[in-house]
Chain A
Amino acid sequence: DAKTTQPTSMDCAEGRAANLPCNHSTISGNEYVYWYRQIHSQGPQYIIHGLKNNETNEMASLIITEDRKSSTLILPHATLRDTAVYYCIVRALNTGGFKTIFGAGTRLFVKA
């Protein structure tokens, strides 16, 4: 699975959009981009995933660049409860893709 690079931490004002970047420059054609978040002392929560098209669900939007080397998770109206560590993961569907590789992620602080 390709490696990802994320900023260590970010701040966002409550009610504003939070844009969390992820670099995955070595991504392969069969690898999907997944986003999870983890609130302290809880298990990671799945947010969204995509291959090459932009995706949107009730939680967030995922924007993947045309060359697929980077992506951005957008929380359109951040709330205090969105304060968490956000993980960007790249995973393939071949036989090596059984595990989800979590790095250190981005610690998002939403401030009132």
Chain B
Amino acid sequence: DGGITQSPKYLFRKEGQNVTLSCEQNLNHDAMYWYRQDPGQGLRLIYYSQIVNDFQKGDIAEGYSVSREKKESFPLTVTSAQKNPTAFYLCASSPSPKTNQPQHFGDGTRLSIL
């Protein structure tokens, strides 16, 4: 089945440690996105990519980094500079954002600090 796979489902980070969250899609979508969700709140955009080897900062990019070396993959690194990384992280993809087609989401990675 086509879809978006995020791994791991749960992740624990020690203070001062960088961690990388994986996001893979087999929908042949051009655009990919990373969101952060805090308890009881909506989603906030971290980074997005419209095409391979290109990405832009969203609303809360500080302390995060991404790469887009392949169309299918858009990993997110939570760096030690992110002072409050505990959250639910969601990856999404869509055909070109210049169409009306919706974004589709993975099932998320829950990151916690030890």
Interface residues of A (CB under 8 A from B): 32, 34, 36, 41-46, 49, 51, 87, 93, 95, 97-105
Contacts and interface: CB of A to CB of B under 8 A. Distances in A.
A99 B41 CA distance: 17
B103 A100 contact: yes
A46 B104 contact: yes
Interface of B: 4, 6, 31, 33, 35, 40-43, 45, 48, 50, 56, 58-59, 88, 90, 92, 97-100, 102-108, 110
A51 B35 CA distance: 25
Contacts of A98: 31, 33, 48, 50, 56, 97
B33 A43 contact: no
A63 to B, nearest CB: 18
Contact of B58 (A43, A49, A99): A99
Contact of B100 (A41, A44, A49): A49
Contact of B41 (A46, A49, A101, A104): A104
Contacts of B106: 43
B41 A97 contact: no
Contacts of A41: 88, 108, 110
Nearest to B41: A104
A98 B51 CA distance: 12
Contacts of A34: 102
Interface hub of A98, A101, A102 (most chain B Cβ within 10 A): A98
Contacts of B108: 41-43
23 contacts: A32-B100, A41-B110, A43-B90, A43-B107, A44-B90, A51-B100, A87-B42, A93-B98, A93-B99, A97-B97, A97-B98, A98-B50, A99-B45, A99-B48, A99-B59, A100-B33, A100-B43, A100-B102, A101-B42, A102-B35, A103-B42, A104-B40, A104-B42
A41 B107 CA distance: 8
B86 to A, nearest CB: 15
A32 B100 CA distance: 7
A46 B42 contact: no
B31 A102 contact: no
